[in-house]
Amino acid sequence: MSASVRGRAWFERLTGKARPVEGLPPSVLAADATIEGHAVRVIAVVPDPSARFERARNGEMGIDEGFGVAAAVNATPAGSAILAIVDVPGQAFGIREEAIGLQRSLAASTQAYIRARRGGHPVLTLVVGKAISGAFLAHGLQGGWIGAIDDAGIEIHVMSEAAVARVTRMERDDLTRVAKEIPATARDIRTFATFGAVDRIFAVSDPDAPGDADIADVVRALAEVLRTPEIGCRNPRDRLDVPAALHTRTLARRVREELQAQWDA
């Protein structure tokens, strides 16, 4: 598997000459950029072929990445928004990580994003590549606003197709068929957007090397969102009430209604 170049490409185009945040592992990029007058700490997780953990060299969220993203988020300057650039192929699958406790590393960045957002820092997310499983939970999915590029290379899921096939004992052909019939199992961004969690999908010329027009388009949209900080401070629960979710997440809504009705006897 060749490591993806997307995260770094989009990070570099969106941060330009902004000064990088120091003290982070090489796989965590962060810089304080200005987007049409708005201060934004931009954070990306990228491949590092010489990472000290061998299972976290292709851009996965591992021990160093979770705690690294958490450090970058926790040190966000007052008054600054946060932009998470997402191209994460998954979490690191290694025995060293499990022994150390990978769930805590990913919880650290998740908690950092939540506290930043609830503390008044708008958190925006731009999905430019893979957004898989725990890695997406820990980097991106806590955003109050989520944008994505319109590209077949984007994959959103909780597990690789090979591992799903093993765990569910289904053939891969069957999994592909099921994904067409049951949107909840699909892996593409357009289907994921039908659940109400994606606010904007951008058409781009080249996902690996975004052109000037692509960047201008995204910057214009980000600036528009940043003008209303409440948008970037929306909680994940608020996604249930967006129009797209009204017909796709009916059970999640009904369960909450019933719980509320029955909560106090």
Partner 1 sequence: MTTMLLTESFAERGARERARALLDPQTFRELIGPFERIASPYLAAQGVVPQSDDGTVVARGTIGGVRACVVATDGRFLGGSIGEIGGAKIAGALELARRDAQRGTPTRMVLALDTGGIRLQEANLGILAVSEICDAIVALRELMPVVAVIAGRVGVYGGLSLSTALCSEIIVSEGARVGLNGPDVVETESGIEEMDSSDRPLIWRVTGGRLRLRQGFATELVSDDVPAIRDAIARAFETPNELGPLVAQVFPDPRLARDDFLRAMEIQP
Beta bridge partners of 131: 88, 156
Amino acid at 61: M
Q: Is 186 a residue that touches partner 1 (CB under 8 A)?
A: yes
Q: Pick from 82, 141, 218, 225: which binds partner 1 (CB under 8 A)? A: 141
Q: Is 1 a residue that touches partner 1 (CB under 8 A)?
A: no
SS3 265: coil
Q: Which of residues 18-47 bind partner 1 (CB under 8 A)?
A: none
**Stretch binding partner 1 (CB under 8 A), from 26-34, 35-43, 80-88, 133-141:** 133-141
Q: Is 115 a residue that touches partner 1 (CB under 8 A)?
A: yes
Q: Is 125 a residue that touches partner 1 (CB under 8 A)?
A: no
Q: Would you give the DSSP letter of residue 94? A: -
How many residues belong to the site for partner 1 (CB under 8 A)?
Answer: 77
Q: Report d(CA 191, CA 46) in Å as an integer.
A: 25
Q: Report d(CA 80, CA 23) in Å as an integer.
A: 19
Q: Which of residues 146-175 bind partner 1 (CB under 8 A)?
A: 156-160, 162-164, 166-168, 170
Q: Is 239 a residue that touches partner 1 (CB under 8 A)?
A: yes
Kindly report the three-state secondary structure assignment for every residue of 46-86. CCCCCCCCHHHCCCCECHHHHHHHHHHHHCCCCCCEEEEEE
Residue number with CB closer to partner 1 (99 or 152): 99
Q: Pick from 10, 192, 200, 233: which binds partner 1 (CB under 8 A)? A: 192
Q: From the CB of 259, what's the least distance to partner 1, in Å?
A: 4
Strands 28-35 and 38-45: antiparallel
Q: Report d(CA 211, CA 185) in Å as an integer.
A: 32
Residue number with CB closer to partner 1 (130 or 239): 239
Q: Report d(CA 35, CA 150) in Å as an integer.
A: 22
**Stretch binding partner 1 (CB under 8 A), from 4-12, 16-24, 113-121, 216-224:** 113-121
